[in-house]
Amino acid sequence: MTLRITVCQQGPMRRIQVAGRLTGEEVGELDQTIGDDPSVACLELDHLRSADGAGLAALRRLRAEGVEMRGVPHHLAWRIGAANA
């Protein structure tokens, strides 16, 4: 398994659990899952093991677009500029 994306819709909020390794190959799928309104998306990254350069760039971009991020692993948090929530 490279990456598993699980979505749970709770009212207007979309919780998106990301598990495994995020690579450039999966960035498009993650973008599609988030949809057109990043303000209603929450990425749960507790089980994200690693990300390549394209994956890290995507996470930085999504954070800048307003996607909430929770459970960012310490080894990735500093690389995407996110606090571990």
Q: What is the pTM of this model?
A: 0.90
pLDDT at residue 83 is higher than 80? no
Residue 1 confidence (pLDDT): 57
Residue 79 confidence (pLDDT): 87
The domains located in the chain, with CATH, are: 3-80 (3.30.750.24)
Residue 85 confidence (pLDDT): 46
Q: Give the type of residue at 65.
A: E
pLDDT at residue 62 is higher than 50? yes
Average pLDDT over residues 7-36: 94
Strand, coil or helix: 41: strand
CB 15 within 8 Å of CB 8: yes
Average pLDDT over residues 75-82: 85
